[in-house]
Structure 1
Amino acid sequence: MVKPFSIAIHGGAGAFQRKQMKKEIELSIKKDLESSVLAGHSILKKSGDALDAAVEAVRILEDSPNFNAGRGSVFNNKEIIEMDASVMHGKKMTAGAIAGVRHIKNPIMLARDVMKKSKHVLLVGEGAEEFAFEHNHQYIKQDYFYTTIQYNRLIYMKKRDLFELSDPEYLNNKYGTVGAVALDQQGNLASATSTGGITNKRYGRVSDSALIGSGTVAENGNVAVSTTGIGEIFIRKMVASDVAARMRYLEEDIITASESVIQGDLKSIGGEGGLIAIDAYGNICFSMNTSGMYRASIDINGNLIIKIYSDD
């Protein structure tokens, strides 16, 4: 008998406005979300590992310029792209993460290598890239990550000394992160998260997506979580771990725990964003306190959903 398995992904939460979202962009985003979740689900269907499924789903999103991770990453205040990523496997709670890499096509795959091929959890900057090249990751020039829309956003924000986009021209912008959570047929939970950070961030800034417990958590028998939002507040609140702790110690279900954090504790200190989560039974939760979050999932019954807005 096939044991239950499921997967959920996100492409970032934010202030999405239906009236300002161009139809062709919306269709392109949904196509990428579908490709991502189907790829991850295919691995699970073949009795593959939850982490491999989550990483593959995130890798596909990193390869798309539609998302602020990998190819579509934002620029920092020195007009450089620096990327962060992390992974966690719930069986032994092993984890790997990288921060501030500039020349790695798929940061999520490097994070997995840190977990599997090093004695460490988090590597940063030049040290992370040196490790990458030692383990056959290709050097990628910054030109690969350049997109006109992200550069224009940087110029707009630098002129106004901003970090978050609030002008009506940019109402469809999001807190850029991509992530995936999965439950495999062996009962393993896993989470993977990747980001380019925030536009016009200070050189050297590290996001919650690189930090286990803030952006990424997986614990067999409990839950896997990947978050997206204002990184500094998500770090202070330890959002992913908070959800896991509420489920473990308060015995809350996945929806109650997620909503308590995102709609309650986080919102009370000005935190905006969302999360995706899967519990040990394959139940999926999407929680957000923004007007939307790019998201998709395939549940234990094989039902596919792809959504953008909070009221979808």
Structure 2
Amino acid sequence: MRFRLLLAFGALMLGSQASAQSGAEGRWTLVIHGGAGTIERDRITAEQDAAIRAALSHALETGSAILRGGGTSMDAIEATIRELEDDPNFNAGRGAVFTYDGTIEHDASIMDGTTRAAGAVTGTSHTRHPVTLARRVMTESPHVFLRGSGADEFSLAQRLEQVENSWFETDRRRRQLEEFLAGETAGLSAYDVDLKYGTVGAVAVDTNGNVAAATSTGGMTGKRWGRIGDSPVIGAGTYADNRGCAVSATGSGEYFIRVGVAHEICAQIRFRFQQNLAAARASVPVDEEGVPEYYVHASEFGLEANEVQEIADSVIAEMAELGGTGGVIVTTPWGTGTYSFNTPGMYRGMASSEGGASVAIYGDE
């Protein structure tokens, strides 16, 4: 009996919007981060360590519950990020860092790997959950990226929850601004203050094989002149494509923008997968009519975990050659999840349908 070649990901290779469900059906993975940097045991108290782990675990469970129940990757990452935006341990939402002028401005982005639709905002001042605003930009406007007062105006029109800018303030971040301003004449940069990039992010693949990514941040302490980092920049701090993977980044944003880190990782995974699939297709025997003699399931040719890790590590290394530091989280349509960072630590967590959940802080965990 003759079978025509079945390439479940063939449509993806041609750029369609089809999902990768044949490769990940019934499986899900969620990976989160709360920032990278000089995160070392002698810089973090036992109380801070416990609070951060608890916050990561809570956010991880929030998103996992959605995926476990058959929800979408988009819903899972938005809900996860909202939890982290409300936690003052992280540089996003409440607990974000101060600008040079003593205000708080937020950046966020989100991307759907199924359609490559995306939304992003920068310089918002009153929206409690910037990630939700970014998603509304994606779903309720003809645009991808809104800034400043325009983004705030759109948020009001969408009737999203608004708060006073002072609601986002914390004493810890105020002290960091004071340290920055005091050290400015000594030649310190915004990167030198506490050396923790507290951006938050989440990537997920749902039981239909669809990936999504989101990132939210307050930027860097003492930022000026309308500075925009990588977090709201699609392709730099956030990217998702069912043909490759989903990525959220954290670190020295200028360098992530220059390398296009998130897109670069996704592109390399996509092309490596396509090569694997093309080689498999070429090796299938055909009959005298040119009909392949058996099925080739694309899910069998998804990249191994070590291949995904290798690609993520190589792009972080490329960024480091320019002087950048930070990290990324990655998940693929076939369920592989990983982290890569070149800093002493990164607040992070991972959960999946295959192996429970875990959180970590330091590089040696």
Q: Same fold (TM over 0.5)?
A: yes
Equivalent position to 1:246, from 239, 261, 268: 268
The Cα of 1:165 is off from its aligned counterpart by 4.9
Please name the residue that 1:99 is paired with.
122
Report if the CA contact (8 A) 1:157-1:165 is conserved.
no
> Secondary structure of the residue that 1:179 maps to in structure 2?
strand
Please name the residue that 1:204 is paired with.
226
The amino acid that maps onto 2:189 is F
Distance in 1 separating the partners of 2:356 and 2:68: 13
The Cα of 1:176 is off from its aligned counterpart by 2.1
Equivalent position to 2:190, from 161, 164, 185: 164
Matched, 1:293 2:346: yes
* CA distances 1:128-180 after superposition (whole Å, capped 9, x unpaired): 0110000111221111011111011101111111333547xx4xx41121000
> Secondary structure of the residue that 1:71 maps to in structure 2?
coil
Q: CA RMSD in A?
A: 1.4
Equivalent position to 1:37, from 60, 64, 79: 60
Report if the CA contact (8 A) 1:30-1:306 is conserved.
yes
The Cα of 1:29 is off from its aligned counterpart by 0.5
Equivalent position to 1:63, from 76, 86, 110: 86
> Secondary structure of the residue that 1:149 maps to in structure 2?
helix
Distance in 1 separating the partners of 2:107 and 2:272: 31
Matched, 1:129 2:182: no
The Cα of 1:2 is off from its aligned counterpart by 6.0
Distance in 1 separating the partners of 2:356 and 2:108: 28
Matched, 1:258 2:312: yes
* CA distances 1:254-305 after superposition (whole Å, capped 9, x unpaired): 111101011x201111110000000111111110000000000102314211
Distance in 2 separating the partners of 1:5 and 1:39: 14
The amino acid that maps onto 2:171 is T
Distance in 2 separating the partners of 1:300 and 1:219: 21
Please name the residue that 1:22 is paired with.
45
Report if the CA contact (8 A) 2:120-2:134 is conserved.
yes
Distance in 1 separating the partners of 2:269 and 2:351: 22
Larger radius of gyration: 2
Please name the residue that 1:75 is paired with.
98
Distance in 1 separating the partners of 2:66 and 2:130: 20
With normalisation by structure 2, the TM-score equals 0.82
How is 1:216-235 mapped onto 2 (pairs within 5 angstroms)?
Answer: 216-235=238-257
The amino acid that maps onto 1:77 is Y
Report if the CA contact (8 A) 1:76-1:203 is conserved.
no
Give every structure 1 segment of 4 or more consecutive aligned residues whose post-TM-superposition deviation is greater than 6 Å: none
Which stretch has the larger CA shift, 213-222 or 65-74? 213-222
Which stretch has the larger CA shift, 99-108 or 15-24? 15-24
Matched, 1:236 2:270: no
Distance in 2 separating the partners of 1:60 and 1:185: 22
Aligned length, in residue pairs = 307
Matched, 1:181 2:203: yes
Please name the residue that 1:116 is paired with.
139
In structure 1, runs of 5+ residues without a counterpart are none
* CA distances 1:217-271 after superposition (whole Å, capped 9, x unpaired): 0001310000000011111110001101111224473111101011x20111111
Distance in 1 separating the partners of 2:174 and 2:84: 19
Distance in 2 separating the partners of 1:87 and 1:148: 29
Q: Identity across aligned pairs (percent)?
A: 41
Please name the residue that 2:161 is paired with.
138
Report if the CA contact (8 A) 1:7-1:297 is conserved.
yes
Report if the CA contact (8 A) 1:55-1:108 is conserved.
yes
Distance in 2 separating the partners of 1:96 and 1:86: 6
In structure 2, runs of 5+ residues without a counterpart are 1-23, 274-302
Please name the residue that 1:13 is paired with.
36
Distance in 2 separating the partners of 1:103 and 1:213: 26
Please name the residue that 1:305 is paired with.
358
